[in-house]
Each structure stands twice: as structure tokens, then as C-alpha cells.
Structure 1
Amino acid sequence: MRDVLIVGGGPVGTMLGCLLALRGLDVQVLERRTEPSLRSRAIGIHPPLLGVLEQVGVAEALVRRATHVEEGSVRCDGRTLGRLSFSALPTPYPYVAMLPQYETESLLRERFQELRPGGLRGGVSVSEVRRRHDYAEVVTDAGETFQARYVVGADGARSRVRESAGLPWLAVGGRETYLMCDYGDTGIYGADAVLYFERGGVVESFPLPDGTRRWVAMTDFLAEHASSSDLADVVRHRTGAVVGQARGVASAFEVQQHRTNRMVAGRVLLVGDAAHQISPIGGQGMNLGWLEAAALAPALARAVAEGDAAASALAMYSRTRMRAARMAMRQAGFNMSMGRPVRGLRLQARNALVRTLAVPPTSALVARAFTMRWL
């Protein structure tokens, strides 16, 4: 009977495992994959989360490896509408650290192995979670059963843990489609992030380590068969920018935001994408999951140590983090709406709004919002 079982060994589940192990809890992570994914999905790590990574003991290595984005610009029709700087943020990390998710995940896994040798078990597919009065059971596809005082679902948007707990999955807002690929960085933008709010839809560009730059473009449909050359053509047609040599294959994805209505069901809890699916535009998904892990770890530690306080501690976690998730979803919805194709008066109005948001004192508030300072 372990204290906590975490279903899902991605960056959020592994982060939570580290935080619980540091508090002395008996924790195990169950992961479906046998090998880490090399897909580069989340890349931006915001200042508040660098502080959490510092607690875990991996911030120094991550900061040393990552590219630091201290400024960004918004452009349209070949002109700069505004610039945003993170250098004045009241934090030891006045930048957004850019690092491919698989590298971040590798650092967390190595740290978890140091804290809990053998604590991460791969190749385990969970089929069901059963809630009992004073513990919970995890049943695998292979028929194994694991027991723990608490089970945490960190198993993503298609969470079997959430499904087993009977929690709803509510769609929020409309759908958008995007195309993404990494290319060699031509060096034109330095370490800046660039957002092109163009007539045909947004194009985003972010620097990565090893002379790489990620490009993301909104599309009219889910372009599943598009190539890196196709995305390069879209970027050039909309913005006039020329990308470097492709360093991977293009990836099409669809954004549909979802959330559950609570993050606790008895001794089963949710964290990260298992509780909410948030648009990656703005880079909030993984970061929000880490903020939840940082809030859940002390709540679980108290629940294990003080049974009488468990219900109130976990209810507080659910209430406060659901509120933050709703705020993040509204912000992500705003980000998506700003990037949609526009023409005429609507284009002029949007550009005027961007110019307003990019000058003091509003720019300081935008920088705080973009880096998740109030979540």
C-alpha cells in the first residue's frame, strides 16, 4: 500500500513524483510508454515554474541548456506593432526558458530516479481505477492491481483515471487548427520570439537551443499530410520570412479546449491535461500542470499525515486550481482569437489593440499575464 500512485510519467506526473518524494512520501509513477517520446511539444517554461524546478533541483541544468527569451515582438504587414520585454519582471528568472519537452522530461526523470530509485515503472497501461473507502486500486491491461492511499491521474487529455472516476469532460469554445515544424535558425531574430498577426492568420516563431527555431501557423483545416516545405511556403506567403533547413517533419494539430468540473473524486485526483486541455498557443499547458503539482504535493502530504484534514486540504486544491484553469482557458481563448484571419476594419481594430497593449503601463500587465504570474 503506497502513499500515492501517479498514472502518467510525462513532465507533470514526474514533477509531482519529485515533489512528493522530497516530502518523504512513498510514491510510484506508472507510465504507458517504455521509451520517452522524442516529439517536441511544449517548449516554453515560464518564470514561476523555474522557481518550482529550483525546488526539485533541476533548474540550474535546465536554465544552462535552454534558450532564454527576454523579448518578443508582434508584427503585421512588415511593420512592428509592438514589443514585449520580460527583463523587468520581479523574478530571478526574467525570461521564458525555451527547451524541447523531451529534454525537460529527461531531466525530471533523472531527478526522480535519484529521489526514488525504481519509482517509475514503464510499459504499464491502466484500464481502470477503483475507489475504495480508505484507498484506491489501479488495474492494468495486464490484470495487475496496485493499491495506494491516493491515485493521481496525470495521464493527459484522454485520461483513463478521469473516465474511471466518472468526471465529465466539457468542451469550451471552438476549434482551431495549426501546423508546426522546427527549422534551422537563420539568426535574423536573435533570441527574440516573434508573433505575426497577419491577415491570413497568426504565424509564431520561437528560438530553441542548437540553432533551431520553431514555426507555428494557423491553418484553415487540419493539414495532416502537409510537409515542412508546405509550412515554409505558408510562412513565406504570409510574412515574407524565409525559414532555414527543416529539422524534423511537420506536425498538424487541432485545438479544442476542455475541462472537468472538479479535480478530486474521493481518493482519486487529477492534475495537468487530465483535468483540462488548454490551447498550446501561449505555452500554458505544461506550466499550468506544474503549478498544480506544486499545489497538490503539500496538500497530499497533509492528507497522508493528517487524515482528518484530508478532505479540506484536497477540496482547497481542487477549488483554487480549477479557478486558475478557467482563467488560463480564457487567456488561451483570447490568444487564439487574436490570431484568427481578419480583414478591413477588424484588422485595423486588432492592430490598434496590440499597439495599446504593448506600451506602458499596460505592457507590464501583459508581460505578467503571458508569464503566468497570476496563476
Structure 2
Amino acid sequence: MPEHDVLIVGAGPVGLLLACLLLQDGLRVVVCERRTDADDRTRAIGIHRPGLDALDAAGIGVDVRSEALRLRGGEVRSRRRTLAMLTFAPDRPVLILPQPRTSALLRSRLQALSPDATISGCTVTALRQAADAVHVTAETTEGPRELTASIVVVADGVRSRLRGGLDIGWRRHAGRAAYSMLDIDDREVGERAVLHCEPAGLVESFPLPDGRRRWVVRNGRGEDLRRTDDFRAAIEARTGIGIELPPDAEPTSFVAAQHRATRVTRGRVVLLGDAAHEISPIGGQGMNLGWVDAVRLASELVRSLPQRMPELARFEWHALRSASRAQRRSAFYMSMGAPAPMPVVRSRELLIC
């Protein structure tokens, strides 16, 4: 009999949530995480209603609500005019909480459910499937280790080290752009997001908890906004808004691209979260979709394990369809924020209105 019902590779927000769901229902779960410290990099911040439902199911919804900023709505501007305004319904909240804090709450929940569930400093190097189990080879801080599990869930991110070895394709889809981002203090942060769809490119302004604001600027062709002065100048030139940045501020640059695995299951191995689909990070869509997939997968695993092999075909169908829809949405949103000549900008403004 395998040592574990489920082995999860990767302790990001999706892997952690899945582990909590499975442990709550009595399955034997272990999480292998190659890092030995918490990942404090600033990433997704938006939690939508489906994601919040997933966090409720994992037992941390109350804590998230108590710490998050509740976004009341947003507006879209272009050439310093407001084109559209949106107010979020009370039953469809959008919460703002930086990913490192959400992950910390999930880790605490996992620790409470099973103090020994996570193996830190554990890099999974190989998977070998047998009739009744997956044999896992890993390098740990204490040396090589072999583990067995009925099901292995690969949730190790966009640059998954294991996906290629499963003979699963990784195809690029429409939507790609470079951005620069910076979180700063803002005493008048408010509770509304603003999207500036400007001729020179998108500028996003999101309120954060604790009196902070996130600015995201789409880089123009050949533009590099990693220098503080260039970042600030781009915001002011496009929106007319002057912001004060501390002298040690360093914008982070990243490329938002979209990829999708050709399938998300291979025998007893399942891809989950960013290992299965890379989606534009606007609004935290990838993280929320990963949580929704985790809830659906947990339901199937709990229903089947440890007595029998789970039926994963329906899960795979839902996961691929949902990712495809999210990527089409994201590609459209990215096109609306692309640098464009005035005829295109005017058409875009009419569409937004």
C-alpha cells in the first residue's frame, strides 16, 4: 500500500489549498516544497467570489475577510476621461490581499491540520508510475528520499520541472505583454481600482490593505521601466497623475504570457494551477482558477481514495475548458490595454463606453 494517498509537489497557494481540503476529509497527504523559506514575492492580489468560496472550504475564509481590503468597484479611463464605472454587488465581492499573506494563512491552516504534512527543501526529481502507486524520487536537505503515493499532484508553477517528463505539451495561446509593477504607500488609497487604457499603454492602479497602492504599467515597444524615474514619468505622461516614490523603490518587471497544457492528467499524475495553465495575472485570474480546480479535484479524490483509482476524465475536461475561457478573456483585456494609434484608441473607447 502506498505511504500517502496524495503527494503534492509545490507549496504555493493552490497546492496548499488542495492539501487543506484533502486533510480535512481524512486523506493521508504530504506536500513536497523545494524552498526552505516562504516566498514573499509580490504576485496576485485579487480574490474573486469562486476563490473566496474555495478559501471558505479550506477553513480560512473568515481570516481572509478580516485582513483583506474589500474592493467596492472600479473605473476605466482613457485620455483623462472616465469611460465606465462599475460597482461590485455585495454578494460578489472582490477582495484584495497580497499573495504572500494568503499563502501564510494557508500554511498556518495546513500546520494546524497536520504539523508534519510539508517537507521543505524537498525537490522532486522523478516520477515512476506503477499499477497501484506513483514512486517519487526526491532530493531533500537530509539526502535522497523515495516516497510512494496513490496520486501525485504537480503544482510547481509555470516553469514546472516535472511537466515535460510526463510527455504533456505546453502550448502558447494569444496574449503576451511586458509590464512593470510597484507597491507604494498611499494615504488616500480608497476602495476602487482604476484602469487607464491610454494610447501609450495601460496603467493600472489598485488599492491594497494597510494604506498601500499597486501601480502596474504596460511597457511600450522597446520601453524599459525598471528605473524608478522612468516608471514615475510613464505614469505621469499617460495619466497626468504625479506620484511620489521613495528613493529605494525598485519596480519589478515581468512578462505576462499565456500557455496551456495539452492535458492535465497522465495516469495517476495530475497537473494543477500554474503548472497546468499560465494566464495573464490581471485580477488574480490564474490563482482563483487554480483554487476552483483544486476544489473540483479534491471532491473526486475524497470520493475515491484510498479504495479505488479516481475517475479524472471529467475533472480534466472541466479544467481545460475553464482555462481556455479564462485565457480568451485575458487576451481580450490585454488587447484593450495595448499601445495603439489614435484610430484604434477611439474605437476602443467606444467599445468600453
**TM-score bin, normalised by smaller chain:** over 0.9
Partner in structure 1 of residue 150 of structure 2: 149
Return 115-124 or 228-237, whichever deviates more. 228-237
Partner in structure 1 of residue 237 of structure 2: 237
Partners of 2:108 and 2:244 in 1: CA distance: 33
Counterpart secondary structure, 2:312: helix
Return 198-207 or 281-290, whichever deviates more. 281-290
Check the 8 A contact 1:177/1:254 in 2, yes or no.
yes
More strand, by proportion: 2
Partners of 1:224 and 1:10 in 2: CA distance: 29
Partners of 1:3 and 1:299 in 2: CA distance: 13
Q: TM-score, normalised by structure 2?
A: 0.94
Dislocated runs of 4+, deviation >2 Å: 220-225, 227-230, 242-249
Q: In the TM superposition, what are the counterparts of 1:186-205 in structure 2 within 5 Å? A: 186-187=187-188, 190-205=190-205
Check the 8 A contact 1:77/1:198 in 2, yes or no.
yes
Check the 8 A contact 1:223/1:252 in 2, yes or no.
no
Change (3 A) 1:224 1:345: closer
User: Gapped runs of 5+ residues in structure 2?
Assistant: none
Following superposition, the deviation at residue 12 of structure 1 comes to 0.5
Please list the CA deviations of residues 329-359 of structure 1 after superposition, one character each: whole Å capped at 9, or x if unmatched: 101111111100122221111001101xxxx
Task: Output the amino acid matched with 2:199.
Answer: R
Partners of 1:208 and 1:4 in 2: CA distance: 35
Counterpart secondary structure, 1:220: coil
* CA RMSD across the alignment: 1.7
Partners of 1:333 and 1:133 in 2: CA distance: 41
Counterpart secondary structure, 1:128: strand
Change (3 A) 1:203 1:62: same
Return 276-285 or 239-248, whichever deviates more. 239-248
- Say if 2:298 is the partner of 1:297: yes
Partner in structure 1 of residue 30 of structure 2: 28
Following superposition, the deviation at residue 252 of structure 1 comes to 0.4
Please list the CA deviations of residues 351-375 of structure 1 after superposition, one character each: whole Å capped at 9, or x if unmatched: 01101xxxxxxxxxxxxxxxxxxxx
- Say if 2:108 is the partner of 1:107: no
Counterpart secondary structure, 1:6: strand
Task: Output the amino acid matched with 1:195.
Answer: L
Following superposition, the deviation at residue 51 of structure 1 comes to 1.5
Identity of aligned residues (%): 42
Please list the CA deviations of residues 283-341 of structure 1 after superposition, one character each: whole Å capped at 9, or x if unmatched: 20111110110110011112314526x2xx31110011110010001011111111001
User: Gapped runs of 5+ residues in structure 1?
Assistant: 356-375
Partner in structure 1 of residue 322 of structure 2: 324
Partners of 1:192 and 1:244 in 2: CA distance: 20
Partner in structure 2 of residue 133 of structure 1: 131
Partner in structure 2 of residue 65 of structure 1: 67
Change (3 A) 1:136 1:224: farther
Partner in structure 1 of residue 96 of structure 2: 98
